[in-house]
Chains A and B, each alone.
Chain A
Amino acid sequence: MSAPVIQAEALTKRYGAALAVDNLNLTIDEGEVFGLLGPNGAGKTTTILMLLGLTEPSSGRATVAGFDPLRQPLEVKRRVGYMPDSVGFYDHLSGLANLRYTAALCGLKNVEADKRIAASLARVRLTDAAAKPVHGYSRGMRQRLAIAEILMKGASIAILDEPTGGLDPQSTREFLDLIRSLKHEGMTILLSSHLLELVQSVCDRVALFNRGRIGLEGRVDDLMRSVLGGSHVIRVEAQGADLKRVIEGAAGVAHVTETAEGFTIEAAEDVRAAVARAIIEAGGALTRLEAGHASIEDVYTRYFEGARDAA
């Protein structure tokens, strides 16, 4: 890991009286995949726009690839590929023509541009559709075209805002594979999402964002340990009176969250036997009891539950 590629210091954005991003500090190293995670309105998009120099911060500063996005936006934008949260293309033009336009804006010469475009279209499997107008493209194809644009540009940093929004599971999986292979080639990737599995499966580090602040930041497994207190997660389905309190009373249980199906229990060790006993002794009907893997979803739920309580 070398010098940070993306750095934010006390970055703040105010819209009138509302704070969209509040005193944000962030460091992303070269070759890292970093996930910005947070609910709607958390300030993810605003942060990204400030990093790209597309929105002026109210205070604080950012550095991207060693340049200041406010003073040297062209240098930053030459090195960064950006995929907006709802990406659009010129519908009447073909995918190829859309990329040619971007290539020209990036100052690429025709021959070089065509070579890079062909390679990047092949990489996202759009070669066959390249000559067709974009209005016939599916959501997934548009998303891939946006990735092709980033590849064609030769960007060393990719900033992807909600990259899997609206993709079906199959396309999401393909998309994740693509991100992994980009990471493998040394690209630094910043992505924002509220899709937890996505972040968990590709990101080296994540930041949990809420109301413009980073609440938690770190490697996924570290976060799980620190937020969940232990790595054992047990899922319970049972019927009975006041079960939450009953389960909490069982020996070794650290935390209980009520979910749609039942309860999620966190504990430092395997407490299934104790929980089963407690439920049955309280006269409850136990229908399911299983050890689950802790997922970032648990971190997320726990964290935002806490954030709501604090607010």
Chain B
Amino acid sequence: MRREGSALAGAGVVMMKELADNLSSARMRLLEVLVFVAGAGAVYATIGEVRNIVSEDPFVFLRIFTTAKAPLPSFVAFLGFLIPIVAIALGFDAVNSEFNRRTMSRLLAQPIYRDAMLFGKFLAGLATLAIMLTALWLFVIGLGVLLLGLPPSGEEVARAFVFLVIAVAYGGVWLALALLFSVAFRSAATAALAALSVWLLFAFFWSMLVSLAAPLIAPVDPDDVFSALHNANVVEGLSRLSPNTLFAETALAVLDPSIRALGAILSSQLEGAVKSPLPFIQSLALIWPQVTGLIACFLGLFTIAYIAFQRQEVRA
């Protein structure tokens, strides 16, 4: 059935209100502290390592993001963990809280479509995430300049910026998941728990599951090189079903120009390849499939949330 009027009328209003709520909530304060402390810790720990290679590496500044100093993981790995948590915290009660506060039917009786509400809430979450990550990004770059005593080059800034955009997109995937659960479960606690379970699955158990499943799907025959190759491909394919893997691969490829290919490669493929950094534009081409994967993941989740929300009874 055709409806009249813009589906997005009011989305901006919803977004501004939700953004104000997000930015002033105690929940966000806590997360900001957590993320800044973790980020600063990771960067501070790596700076000693990075200092040692200042003279050898033309992209030394980007090393701040990718170098890990045991026992702390690298800044990128930290974000891989923390962004989903922040996104889940922003989205798990987005829709169900309107039901629980009994504001849903009053809001939907105003001249807006449900679409506006869902888009507004999603965009507010994404904007909050973007603000937080940008602040963190500037903070880390500032810290790098201060501690290393040298400014990043133009290309380094460009690469770091692409990384920032990817980090926000990665957050968008988890935000869409949290939003979906906030539509699916009336209880906010259930929605949060469900979203955190998915996060736990991908953050900790996915690689174990993959290493269990891969030999079953593609057994390795010690006498057959191709079976090993096949196995490696299966492992790669399965692990790329996880948004965390996609994010980690993209982040590394864009921040480390020495990475010329992602995933398993035969040494014959590298024969004759010069051992020089990959130009920026080719790094972008390299990560493009992964970025598309993240976008597809987001679109899928958001569409399901959208359809589920459209069919939902307004009555609490």
Contact = CB atoms under 8 A, between A and B. Distances in A.
Interface of A: 45, 49, 52, 54-55, 70-75, 77-78, 80-84, 86-91, 101-102, 104-107, 146, 149, 153
14 contacts: A45-B315, A49-B314, A49-B315, A52-B109, A54-B105, A55-B314, A78-B111, A82-B105, A83-B106, A88-B101, A89-B103, A90-B103, A102-B107, A105-B111
A104 B315 CA distance: 23
Contact of B314 (A54, A75, A89): A54
Contacts of B5: 72-75
A149 B107 CA distance: 11
Contacts of B111: 73-75, 77-78, 105-107
B17 A80 contact: no
Interface string B4-17: 11000110011001
A80 B5 CA distance: 17
A70 B1 contact: yes
Contacts, number: 85
A87 B102 contact: yes
Contact of A74 (B4, B14, B106): B4
B112 interface: yes
Given A45-B315, A101-B13, A84 B110 contact: no
Given A55-B314, A106-B110, A75 B103 contact: no
A250 to B, nearest CB: 49
Interface of B: 1-5, 9-10, 13-14, 17, 101-103, 105-113, 313-316
Given A101-B17, A105-B110, A71 B105 contact: no
A80 B313 contact: no
Given A54-B314, A91-B101, A105-B112, A73 B106 contact: no
Nearest to B314: A54
A73 B107 CA distance: 13
Contact of B9 (A70, A74, A149): A74
A77 B116 CA distance: 15
B13 A104 contact: yes
A75 B109 contact: no
B2 A71 contact: yes
A227 to B, nearest CB: 31
Contact of A55 (B1, B4, B9, B313): B313
Contacts of B110: 77, 102, 105-106, 153
A230 B111 CA distance: 47
A90 B5 CA distance: 27
B184 to A, nearest CB: 20
B106 A54 contact: no
Contacts of B316: 86
Contacts of A80: 109
B315 A72 contact: no
A8 B107 CA distance: 24
User: Which residue among A80, A83, A104, A149 has the maximum number of chain B CB atoms within 10 Å of its CB?
Assistant: A104
Pick the 8 closest A-B CB pairs, nearest first: A88-B102, A82-B109, A74-B5, A105-B110, A104-B13, A84-B105, A74-B111, A77-B111
